[in-house]
Amino acid sequence: KAGVTQTPRYLIKTRGQQVTLSCSPISGHRSVSWYQQTPGQGLQFLFEYFSETQRNKGNFPGRFSGRQFSNSRSEMNVSTLELGDSALYLCASSLAFGQGGNEQFFGPGTRLTVL
């Protein structure tokens, strides 16, 4: 079974630009979560999507947004990029049935550098 895939793997942007990152979950997984990882703040939850609906959101400004498609693939968008948005962006998928505990499977991440 193929794992979680994320594209692109590396991205360089300049301040003020916007960026879209893509995540394809494991086949059959309906929940997709996004995380930001920086050296200073560690791994922080951005948001989670299930059945095309955002049902959980972390403490990030409105410049960070996302969506999920009917095939469970998800995209996240960051507008008006700032230097502090440089980070590893991770996507995770899970079955999300809620009983018995669910493990989440992470993709390799997209390394975003803002210049």
Partner 1 sequence: DAKTTQPPSMDCAEGRAANLPCNHSTISGNEYVYWYRQIHSQGPQYIIHGLKNNETNEMASLIITEDRKSSTLILPHATLRDTAVYYCIVRAPNFGNEKLTFGTGTRLTIIP
- Least separation in angstroms between residue 31's CB and partner 1 is 5
Strand-pair category, 105-106 with 110-114: unpaired
58 near partner 1, judged by CB under 8 A: yes
48 near partner 1, judged by CB under 8 A: yes
Among 28, 39, 42, 62, binds partner 1 (CB under 8 A): 42
What is the C-alpha to C-alpha distance for residues 29 and 93, in angstroms, rounded to an integer?
6
What is the C-alpha to C-alpha distance for residues 20 and 1, in angstroms, rounded to an integer?
26
What is the C-alpha to C-alpha distance for residues 44 and 72, in angstroms, rounded to an integer?
22
Q: Name the residue nearer to partner 1 (CB basis): 79 or 96.
A: 96
Among 66, 107, 112, 114, binds partner 1 (CB under 8 A): 107
Going residue by residue from 64 to 93, which x/- string records binding to partner 1, judged by CB under 8 A?
A: ------------------------x-x-x-
- Residue ranges binding partner 1 (CB under 8 A): 4, 31, 33, 35, 42-45, 48, 50, 55-56, 58, 88, 90, 92, 94, 96-109, 111
